[in-house]
Amino acid sequence: MATANPNTCPHCGSSNSGANFGFNPQPINDDETLIRDVLFACVDCGGQWAAFGFVMIAQRNGGEPSKEAQEALAEAASAAEDLRIEPLDQDGNPI
């Protein structure tokens, strides 16, 4: 398993970040979507980066993921490539 933390900003080291976009969305149900290869943005420096191989559940309503979503996440995580963090410039291009 990769040990890199996709929530840590590669530009300034802050963990004050949020996922703002994911590729290859796969709907699980009406409220939950599995996303792979997530784009993050840093609240502190405004930097952006992509976490390839990272899978997460995007929820419309927040709260705990459903059992269905957790199972889908576990399955996708085990099949995912190794986590790779790629810093992006302000235009969203690889540096």
Report the nearest approach of Zn ion to the CB of residue 14 (Å): 4
Whole-angstrom distance, CA of residue 17 vs CA of residue 54: 15
End-to-end CA distance of the chain: 25
Q: Is residue 69 a contact residue for Zn ion (CB under 5 A)? A: no
Report the nearest approach of Zn ion to the CB of residue 11 (Å): 4
Return the residue of 4, 19, 41, 45 that touches Zn ion, per CB under 5 A: 45
The 1-40 contact track toward Zn ion, x by CB under 5 A, reads: --------x-xx-x--------------------------
The nearer residue to Zn ion, 45 or 77, going by C-beta atoms, is: 45
Whole-angstrom distance, CA of residue 94 vs CA of residue 72: 29
Q: Which residues contact 39 (CB under 8 A, 6 or more apart)?
A: 19, 20, 21, 22, 48, 49, 50, 51, 88, 92
Residues that bind Zn ion (CB under 5 A): 9, 11-12, 14, 42, 44-45, 47
